[in-house]
């Protein structure tokens, strides 16, 4: 069984930078350091108000990221243009409202099938791998196949919330969703509220997991452990 890759979401570093203006911390250097310390991908999630990642950051990061570059977001016209111009390794489509504090739900792939097909086709033509954010619901995973997406990203908040109470129960819908993804031949990513406490159990129980995207918890851990030690710790949880 292959080991899932770690993609570091650097949004929170941008939040710290923006709090004071200027360029401290330097996102370009952060991305380079994350890769040097072992991260196999860099994730960013620009939002319309650019409260953390700015669109200008995307251009700068594209020049330096040497691993997988993943851009997440709601496929507005401006976002689509940004992705087509940047041509990252992967684009992850997330149905965020413009004022969403953080991602809080997956796509309804049945209701939005035609819309997702049209957007995904734009990226497919340009050779950009697509992933769509979905809840751990078997019917939604099955429907994702019809959109033409290469992968899905399982929204893991409910797993993280339930882990400490009953991890066996919390993981069950994710195992079912992962099995359906395998049946549909759709690649599997995961993200949201995964951390050093719950990551190892998730990664060992979910079959064919390709990638996890982790930001908030990783940045918080780095305040105590340092960025290098933190990335190594997360990589160890994936082994």
Q: Is 78 a catalytic residue?
A: no
**Identified catalytic residue from 35, 52, 68, 72:** 72
Contact 110, 143 (CB under 8 A): yes
Active site residue 192: yes
CA distance 19 to 32: 22
Q: Which of 35, 45, 180, 211 is catalytic?
A: 45
Number of other residues whose CB lies within 10 A of the CB of residue 104: 13
Contact 84, 54 (CB under 8 A): no
Question: Catalytic: which of 35, 180, 192, 211?
Answer: 192
SS3 call for 74: coil
Phi-psi map region of 226: left, alpha, beta (phi>0 left; psi -120 to 50 alpha): left
Query: CA-based Rg of the chain, rounded to a whole angstrom?
Result: 17
Q: Is 52 a catalytic residue?
A: no
Write out the catalytic residue numbers: 45, 72, 192
């Amino acid at each position: 069984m292959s080991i899932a890759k770690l993609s570091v979401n650097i949004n929170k570093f941008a939040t710290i930078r923006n709090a004071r203006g200027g360029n401290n911390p330097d996102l370009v250097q952060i991305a380079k350091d994350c890769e040097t310390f072992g991260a196999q991908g860099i994730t960013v999630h620009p939002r319309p108000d650019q409260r953390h990642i700015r669109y200008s950051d995307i251009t700068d990061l594209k020049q330096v990221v040497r691993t997988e570059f993943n851009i997440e977001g709601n496929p507005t016209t401006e976002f689509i243009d940004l992705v087509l111009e940047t041509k990252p390794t992967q684009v992850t489509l997330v149905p965020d409202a413009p004022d969403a504090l953080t991602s809080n739900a997956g796509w309804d792939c049945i209701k939005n099938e035609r819309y997702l097909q049209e957007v995904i086709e734009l990226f497919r033509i340009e050779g950009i791998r697509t992933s769509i954010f979905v809840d751990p619901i078997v019917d939604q995973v099955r429907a994702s196949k019809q959109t033409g997406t290469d992968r899905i990203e399982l929204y893991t908040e409910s797993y993280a919330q339930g882990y400490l109470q009953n991890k066996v129960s919390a993981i069950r819908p994710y195992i079912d969703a992962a099995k359906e993804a395998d049946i549909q031949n759709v690649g599997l990513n995961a993200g949201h509220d995964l951390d050093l406490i719950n990551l190892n159990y998730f990664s060992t129980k979910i079959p064919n997991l390709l990638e996890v995207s982790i930001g908030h918890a990783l940045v918080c851990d780095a305040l105590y452990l340092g960025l290098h030690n933190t990335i190594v710790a997360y990589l160890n949880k994936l082994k």
